[in-house]
Structure 1
Amino acid sequence: MALNRIKAHSRAFAHIAAFHPELTALRRELHAHPELGFEEHYTARRVVETLKVCGVDEIHTGIGRTGVVATIKGRGQGTRMVGLRADMDALPMAEANEFAWKSTRPGLMHGCGHDGHTAMLIGAARYLAETRNFDGTAVLIFQPGEEGFAGAKAMIEDGLFDRFPVQSVFAMHNWPQMRPGTIGINPGPMMASADRITIEISGKGGHGAHPYQTVDPVLVAAHIITAVQSIVSRNIRPIDSAVISLCAMQAGDLGAFSVIPGKATLVGTVRTFNPEVQAMVERRLNEVCSGVALGLGASAHVKYERIYPATINTRDEARFAADVAQKLVGHEHVDRAMDPSMGAEDFSFMLQVKPGAYLRLGQGAENGIGSCFLHNSRYDFNDEVLPLGAALHASLIEHALPLQAA
């Protein structure tokens, strides 16, 4: 879909498109200066500086350590508040791109597009501050630490929704598998929960030439890796969803080729949408691992950590967001029943407290810009969609807080 077609009939998109080059420059500046969760000092400072230029009413810093919140009052007298959230942090990975705005910080990279999310919310801030075609208060949330640090939870625990009691909250994430000009959403689960599992196996070490004198934890680990896959295939209903991935194992020393170690450790992740399924997986992991280990003369301890809950849209807010998106890009470019992802997102913490919805914004392109998937060392945000994402943010505010006719 040509983005120019949106410009022709969307006032917000046309307005924001006028400062598209400035948003692109900001996005690329942020890309060149990636920061990990709760270390977004440069990013937060640039957000604050830019928000001041945009003319927002209030700026609050240090919420959830490095989070920033801005408020913009509409032209009406309404007291309702609606929140918009963008994440700011980067990833601990090396960038393989060679363009001018590549990361200047070794081992750090904006490999998930949070630089683009931040720039889009800045674009919405400028438009909303310049036009104020709404009745109430827009609350713009620039969140730290989405990538495994639970920054959303930190902001909530720091009084985010006590200080800014929004009636609903919305967020979006770029999606390279969708074309520019397309938007996806559904009225239920959008992202899975993310749990961390650590399985510690204790055996009896010894000489590799005399394994009968040992209890080999590597052998036990191999059996556990195979056995836990039966949990999804034999304990979870086919109409439900679950993923168990054991992603790493540590046992012994690579230099000690003839030494059977006394211990082995497996680490991995569990992804589910339903709390009952999540509880079933946790219980069966303990049973299967203990049983397999016991049968081979060893012992196993499972540490199960619930990191992020599932991201589940509330039905009314999802329908509302889809309607807004449809007004912006046309019904044929909105997927209202988008398949959920088994990835995770800490916006889930906000949706546990407030009604809201999480959308996906298409950014894939035939010319290769932005077309590789997230968390890829050659990923880059597609700057062509900056005005559309900003316009979608702004349109959610204008439709959620409409000005009353005189």
Structure 2
Amino acid sequence: MPVLNSIAEMAGEMKAWRRHLHAHPELGLDCVETAEFVAARLREIGVDDIHEGIGHTGIVALIRGRAEGRTVGLRADMDALPMTETTGADHASTVPGRMHACGHDGHTTMLLGAAKYLASTRNFAGTVALIFQPGEETGEGGPAMLADGMMERFGIEEVYALHTSPKQDLGVFITRPGPFMAAVTDFDIRIRGRGGHASRPQDTRDPIAAALTIGTAIQTIVARNNDAGEALVVSITQIHAGSAHNVIPAEAHIGGTIRSYRPEVQDMVRTRIRDIGEGIARAMGVEVEIGRRIDLAPTVNDPARTKFALSVAREISGEGKVISDHPPLMGSEDFGAMLAARPGAILFMGQGIGPMVHETDFDFCDDAAPVGASYFARLIERALPIE
């Protein structure tokens, strides 16, 4: 079964939706206008219920099938990135310093297309919960919607998602059962000493010297504290200190990220960073404060639901375009929080080879939208069959 005919007929409409969203990007949890646009389309489509303001600006819309049954969730993210677009497209971002560089405009469009099909046909038994989520890029949106009781409130038993991929040909689906995307913890280390003139370092407590020592010691965690067979990345990505060549500053800052596939490994690294930071601070006479910005669970696909989702992908694209054992990715997704709450799976879907996500010249391929919408729609018909 290729792209569903009635969804193929929506291609122009979906293209217009997607390009409107692309031109009006919003960040983090503050997807106010995006949520209003989505809610307006859902009202036009004729879904049964629209619940707004979940997880700040998230939406859960319900479509009931022709008979009673379970509730299955489909999730799309809505937020953009704080980047300046360089595509030169007619539909390029109209907001300086913001752009849809990760395809969330396309994800939202694909779910809206599936919603229009499902609201029209209702060829399923049970309820589909359409989840439009803000704040994926900041790691806040999924946990915020869960904290608002989304799963319990709407009785969601399983949950599925799609993410576009510019590393795969159009219509190629990839995933794997079990850990598929990494847990991530972004850490901050603030070091406070006593500044002074660079010609008299003996009168200071140098935070830069402490920062360099802490940074070097952190690099030993992967090699000396982690099992060699366990995937782990610890990267220092920021060091900030000082403003003049002849002044030792009073403060320094280190920032970085931890990525692995198991919470226990994340815990070990966080503990070691704290031990290293506090130990070196004591030895060098400075104070240290260690905090976290993002702390996301790994994205772990349920094996049975992954097998099912891949069978749906094969119906849409064919056996040759489905990769069921793709290597795990070190990228992260806050959809992992939803998968920790309910079984399900996330698949990546090729949109054609091109600029990578999070690059300033990335743009979602509109030809991919009918493929993704067909996958979502067929997944619901298969998951909730009418007896």
Residue deviations 1:45-99, cap 9 Å, x none? 2112212222222222222221122211222x22211110001111122112211
Work out the CA distance in 2 between the residues paired with 1:197 and 1:142: 28
Structure 1, unpaired ranges of 5+: 1-8, 366-370
SS class of match (1:374): coil
Query: Which residue is 2:39 aligned to?
Result: 48
Q: Once the 2 structures are TM-superposed, how far is the Cα of residue 304 of structure 1 from its aligned partner?
A: 4.1
Q: Which amino acid aligns with 1:90?
A: A
Q: Does residue 1:145 correspond to 2:135, yes or no?
A: yes
Q: Which amino acid aligns with 2:83?
A: M
Q: Does residue 1:71 correspond to 2:62, yes or no?
A: yes
Q: Does residue 1:321 correspond to 2:312, yes or no?
A: no
Q: Which amino acid aligns with 1:320?
A: F
Query: Which residue is 2:280 aligned to?
Result: 292
Which of 222-231 and 164-173 deviates more?
Answer: 222-231
Work out the CA distance in 1 between the residues paired with 2:40 and 2:294: 36
Query: Which residue is 1:336 aligned to?
Result: 324
Counterparts of 1:207-286 in structure 2, within 5 Å, are 207-253=197-243, 256-286=244-274
Q: Is the 8 A contact 2:185 2:259 kept in 1?
A: yes
Work out the CA distance in 2 between the residues paired with 1:229 and 1:38: 33
Query: Which residue is 1:17 aligned to?
Result: 8
Q: Which amino acid aligns with 1:257?
A: H
Work out the CA distance in 1 between the residues paired with 2:265 and 2:251: 30
Which of 359, 374, 384 is residue 391 of structure 1 equivalent to? Answer: 374
Counterparts of 1:61-100 in structure 2, within 5 Å, are 61-75=52-66, 77-100=67-90
Q: 1:74 to 1:242 in 2, by over 3 A?
A: same
Q: Which amino acid aligns with 1:342?
A: M
Q: Which amino acid aligns with 1:324?
A: V
Q: Does residue 1:380 correspond to 2:363, yes or no?
A: yes
Q: Which amino acid aligns with 2:251?
A: K
Q: Percent identity?
A: 46
Q: Which amino acid aligns with 1:245?
A: S
Work out the CA distance in 1 between the residues paired with 2:352 and 2:337: 28
Work out the CA distance in 1 between the residues paired with 2:290 and 2:51: 42
Aligned residues between the structures: 387
Counterparts of 1:31-180 in structure 2, within 5 Å, are 31-75=22-66, 77-180=67-170
Work out the CA distance in 1 between the residues paired with 2:271 and 2:154: 39
Residue deviations 1:315-334, cap 9 Å, x none? 11111111111222122211
Q: Once the 2 structures are TM-superposed, how far is the Cα of residue 212 of structure 1 from its aligned partner?
A: 3.7
Q: 1:100 to 1:163 in 2, by over 3 A?
A: same
Work out the CA distance in 1 between the residues paired with 2:383 and 2:327: 25
Which of 294-303 and 309-318 deviates more?
Answer: 294-303
Which of 286-295 and 225-234 deviates more?
Answer: 286-295
Residue deviations 1:144-201, cap 9 Å, x none? 1111151122212222122211220001111111111100111111221221211122
SS class of match (2:355): coil
Q: Is the 8 A contact 2:51 2:59 kept in 1?
A: yes
SS class of match (1:284): helix
Q: Once the 2 structures are TM-superposed, how far is the Cα of residue 252 of structure 1 from its aligned partner?
A: 2.0
Measured on the aligned residues, the alpha-carbon RMSD in Å equals 1.7
Q: Once the 2 structures are TM-superposed, how far is the Cα of residue 209 of structure 1 from its aligned partner?
A: 2.0
Q: Does residue 1:401 correspond to 2:384, yes or no?
A: yes
Query: Which residue is 1:4 aligned to?
Result: none
Work out the CA distance in 2 between the residues paired with 1:274 and 1:149: 17
Q: Is the 8 A contact 1:282 1:304 kept in 2?
A: no
Q: Which amino acid aligns with 1:400?
A: A
Q: Which amino acid aligns with 1:265?
A: H
Work out the CA distance in 2 between the residues paired with 1:363 and 1:67: 26
Q: Which amino acid aligns with 1:200?
A: R
